[in-house]
Structures are given as C-alpha cells and as structure tokens.
Chains A and B, each alone.
Chain A
Amino acid sequence: MSGPAPAARPAGVPANALSRYALRLGDLPLILGQRLGEWVGHAPVLEEDLGLANLALDLIGQARLLLSYAGEVEGEGRTEDDLAFLRDPGEYLNPTLVEQPNGDFGETIVRQVLVDAFQLPLYEGLMGSADKHIAAIAAKAVKETRYHLRYSSSWMVRLGDGTPESHARVQGSLNRLWRYTVEFFEEDDLDRDMAARGVAPRLANVRAAWLTSIDEILAEATLARPGEVPYSWFGKRGEHSEHLGYILSDLQYLQRAHPGARW
C-alpha cells in the first residue's frame, strides 16, 4: 500500500498525537468487528448471521484504513497488522462499550445502536477534517455507518416495541450498557488538541447529534433513556474492562503463536 502524501496532513500537528488519534478512531471498529464476528454461525436466523457479518466486515475495513494510517503517521514502520495483532491491552484505545460481551441478540443490537449513532455524527464531522486522509476515510465510512444505524435501529424498534419479553430484555440491556457511553463525549487533551487543529469535530457537537438520534429511536421503540451515571469507563485512554484481554487472546492467537503468518 502506498502512503498518503505528507501534504494531506495539516501543518504543525505532532505525529505522535495524530497517530494516537487515528488509533483511537480505528480501535473502535477493530474491536467491535471482532465482537460481531463471534455471531457468525450462532445468530438466531441465517439472514441475521449474514447481516451481522456484513457489519463486522465493514468495521474491520474501517479499522484497516485507520490503523494503516496510524502506522504511517507514527513513522516507525508498523503496519496495520502489527498494530492490530501485536499490541498489549493497555495500548488499545477503543471505548469500553465495544469490548462488552455480545449477550443475547437484543443486547448486541442495543450496543450497536449506541455505537452507530455515535460513529455517524463523528464521521460526518471528520469528513471536514483538516487531515485530508482522515477526511477521505470518513467519507467512505459514513455511507456504511448510515446503513449500520438503519439496520440496528430497525431491530431496536422491533424488539422494544415487540413483546413484553423482548421489551424487558432490551430495556435491561440499555440500562446495563448506558454507563459505557459517557466516555464517548468526555473530552481529554488529545480530543481538545485535535479539535483545536481542525482534525476532529468537537465532541459536544457529536453528542448533541447522538442524543437527538438516540431519543428518536428510543421513542419509537417505546424504551426509556436511562439516567446519567457518575462513574465513567475510559477504554479510549487504554483503561479497559476485563473483557478486552479475552478478545485479544482470540484476535492475536495466530500471530502470537505463528509470528508473521500470512494467508
């Protein structure tokens, strides 16, 4: 793969910060794609098996582009595979929500809605990024994400506004997973720096769009939005729940056991 022209990068942005930001963007779809892949062969019906696998493939594709770019910006010769397979848990910067176990099909759908509704305004904002390479990746990913949200929200409505059993189960999942959404919008120094340099959108704007679309979906699904919780998780800083280690042992097994193995 040929690298992007250096001119695509905005002047004056430190390579280590930009690389870390690209990792943060890319680790979300990497880990979520890996999680969704666990459904293959296990979904309730064949059609949903393919639906979830399609989502997973889109996400892994986004992760490949973003991790490749993170490696190029870093400038130490690390490839997308090095970054995907050979980091330790504390170096992954995905939000904690996407590493949570799949649970039942309804819980997977709730997690997906919460993430899709976040990724959509995030990518829309990134399409205007001062970093032209990130803008181009976002322009591709935004079309995929629109479909993801359409898919996940239609299931959320079907289950929420379905039977008493399905309603109770997705409401329970929503209550369990809601706490993990807080970190999406908690700006840290890296978020502020990237926004100030025009690389990233302001997270406050992303949150406003996220909340609007979540409230619309919940209303149609007859579900109640859970209250705010005081404690936040910070997977995006590398502080993960216990679940990440288990995913990584699956994800990394082949490369750790057979370094450099290729198809």
Chain B
Amino acid sequence: MTAPIDATSGAAVSREWPLYEVFIRARGGLDHKHVGSLHATDARMAIEHARDLYTRREEGVSIWVVRSSDIAASDPQDADALFEPARDKIYRHPTFYEIPDEVKTL
C-alpha cells in the first residue's frame, strides 16, 4: 500500500501513529522501568493507552511515556569501543577490601 500524500506539503503521510516507549513505577521509592511500547497520536493518549495496556493488574503507581524517536541510543557497532575498555579494570569492583569481623550486615 502506498502512503497517502499530504495535500499542502506533498510529503508522504504515515498512517501509523508515532511510537511511544512506556516506563512504569511499580511502587513508591522504586525506579520507573521500561515495560514496552505502543502507538498514540500524542502524549496524553499514550499515557491513557499505557494505563490500559500495562497497569491492568495493578502493576504501577506512575507512568512515563516518551516518543521513541526522541531517544538517543548507542550504536551496537560501537560496543567494542564503548564497553571493552572496562573489561580489564577489575579494580573498579569493590572486591579488594578486607571486611572487619565486627561488620555483620554488609
């Protein structure tokens, strides 16, 4: 199916609504966690859809939505450059401390 053409701009109009990413806070004090994505025409509709899709079973107390196109992501091709240099720096893990006997609950 060819996309319809916008009468004024002549640009192809997408029939798909924009994609939004949904983040839900399960309980007060916890972080918002990414739970999935959905289509909506605007942010308010995205929140209403998120409520209906992702909180039907009392999964959350707060919803964030963000346009997927507004998320900047790292390129998987850059993974070596970004993440490998950390691999041989084991001293960054806090595993080199002697824990005194008096400390019981660490």
Of the listed stretches A47-55, A63-71, A204-212, A249-257, chain B binds: A47-55
Return the CB mask of B50-78 against A: 1 if under 8 Å, else 0: 01110010000000000000000000000
CB–CB A47/B44 < 8 A: no
CB–CB A45/B48 < 8 A: no
In this complex, the interface size class of chain B, counting residues with CB under 8 Å from chain A, is 10 to 19
CB–CB B39/A45 < 8 A: yes
A50-B53, A51-B49, A51-B52 given; A45·B44 CB < 8 A: no
Q: Is A105 an interface residue (CB 8 A)?
A: no
Query: Among B42, B52, B53, which residue has the most Cβ atoms of chain A within 10 A?
Result: B52
Closest Cβ–Cβ distance, residue A57 to chain B (whole Å): 10
A102 to B8, CA, bound (A): 33
Return the CB mask of B26-38 against A: 1 if under 8 Å, else 0: 0000000000001
Report chain A residues within 8 Å CB of B42. 158
In this complex, the interface size class of chain A, counting residues with CB under 8 Å from chain B, is 10 to 19
Q: Is A79 an interface residue (CB 8 A)?
A: no
Contacts between the two chains (Cβ within 8 Å), count: 25
Q: Is A85 an interface residue (CB 8 A)?
A: no
Q: Is B82 an interface residue (CB 8 A)?
A: no
CB–CB B45/A154 < 8 A: yes
Q: Is A146 an interface residue (CB 8 A)?
A: no
Q: Is A150 an interface residue (CB 8 A)?
A: yes
Q: Is B17 an interface residue (CB 8 A)?
A: yes
Binding site for A on B (CB under 8 A): 17, 38-42, 44-45, 48-49, 51-53, 56
Binding site for B on A (CB under 8 A): 45, 47, 50-51, 54, 147, 150-151, 154, 158
